[in-house]
Amino acid sequence: MDVYEAIMKRRTIRRFKDVPIPYEVLAKCIDAARLAPTGRNLQLLDFLLVDDERLLSEVFPTIASWAQTPRPSGPPPGHRPRAYVVIMIDTVREKETGGSRRSTQVDAGMAAENLILAALEQGIGTCAILSAVESEIRQVLNIPAKYEIGVVVAMGYPDESSITEVYTTVTKPYLDEHGVRHVPKRKLEDVLKRNKL
Ligand SMILES: Cc1cc2nc3c(=O)[nH]c(=O)nc-3n(C[C@H](O)[C@H](O)[C@H](O)COP(=O)(O)O)c2cc1C
């Protein structure tokens, strides 16, 4: 699968098979994330991999919203993520190096996409998550105050499929009667501006 094909194919997955992901597969995803571009090459991100069975069940309830539906929502037991990666910003090193939060937040997004594409190539579905309740996930995972949580990526072998369709009036993805998610995307000609506006 080439990179463009992977990008076209990728859709968020929120329902997973109850199959553990080998550590080597997960480590490869984080390896891809660590090589993403970072502002001034400061590399102020650390990656907390959660794949312990008990912790997985403790992280899940900290997620406040799945597919824009407030908790309790999201996949039922037996279909929940089999790993999470918490992409964390080291705010102490950020201060020491004169890094800016704007830059490190962009870094976190770039790292997340690298991770997501490396996962896709290995057959793993992902869901980027910003709605993890910070105080709760911190407590569950012992994350010290020096880290700001950039984004969490939920991972697992896909147990749903998703169709990309052309956006007309709503951007919100929806499920059809077969449980297939439709994800409206704006057309290239609507988003691509060339030279001056
Ligand atoms: C910054 C960011 C935060 C997100 N947070 C959540 C979240 O908290 N819960 C969730 O179910 N999906 C979340 N998503 C996934 C989006 O809902 C999803 O990317 C969007 O619906 C488009 O679908 P696609 O990824 O299949 O293109 C997030 C995505 C991004 C980029």
User: Per CATH, is 161-197 categorized as 3.40.50.1110?
Assistant: no
Homologous superfamily (CATH) for 3-160: NADH Oxidase (3.40.109.10)
Phi-psi sector, 72: left (phi>0), alpha (psi -120 to 50), beta: beta
pTM, to two decimals = 0.97
Q: Are 73 and 151 in contact (CB under 8 A)?
A: no
Q: State the pLDDT at residue 168.
A: 86
Distances in Å between the Cα of 170 and the Cα atoms of 176, 182, 184 are 15, 11, 7
Domain with CATH 2.20.180.10 in the chain: 161-197
- The answer to whether the CB of 173 is under 6 A from ligand 1 is yes
Listed in sequence order, the residues at least 6 apart from 97 whose beta carbon sits closer than 8 Å to its beta carbon are 40, 42, 44
Distance 173 CA to ligand 1 centre (A): 10
CA-proximal residue: ligand 1, atom 26 (nearest): 11
Q: CA 127, CA 73: separation in Å to the nearest integer?
A: 14
Within the chain, how many helices (H) and strands (E) appear? 7, 9
* DSSP per-residue string spanning 32-77: HHHTS--GGG---EEEEEE--HHHHHHHGGGB-EETTEESS-SSPT
137-158 pLDDT tens trace: 999 999 999 999 999 999 999 9
- The answer to whether the CB of 88 is under 6 A from ligand 1 is no
Distance 65 CA to ligand 1 centre (A): 10
Given ligand 1 and candidates 62, 106, 120, 129, which is best to mutate, with the most ligand atoms within 8 Å of its CB? 129
Q: State the pLDDT at residue 170.
A: 86
Distance 98 CA to ligand 1 centre (A): 30
- The answer to whether the CB of 183 is under 6 A from ligand 1 is yes
Distance 43 CA to ligand 1 centre (A): 24
Q: State the pLDDT at residue 1.
A: 80
- The answer to whether the CB of 128 is under 6 A from ligand 1 is yes
The encoded tokens of residue 119 equal: 């996962």
Listed in sequence order, the residues at least 6 apart from 72 whose beta carbon sits closer than 8 Å to its beta carbon are 61
The 10 Å Cβ neighbour count of residue 28 is 17
Q: State the pLDDT at residue 87.
A: 98
Domain with CATH 3.40.109.10 in the chain: 3-160
The 10 Å Cβ neighbour count of residue 187 is 10
Q: From the alpha carbon of 66, which atom of ligand 1 is closest? A: 11
Listed in sequence order, the residues at least 6 apart from 81 whose beta carbon sits closer than 8 Å to its beta carbon are 16, 56, 59, 60, 75, 127, 154, 155, 156
Distance 70 CA to ligand 1 centre (A): 14
* Residue ranges in the chain whose pLDDT is less than 50: none
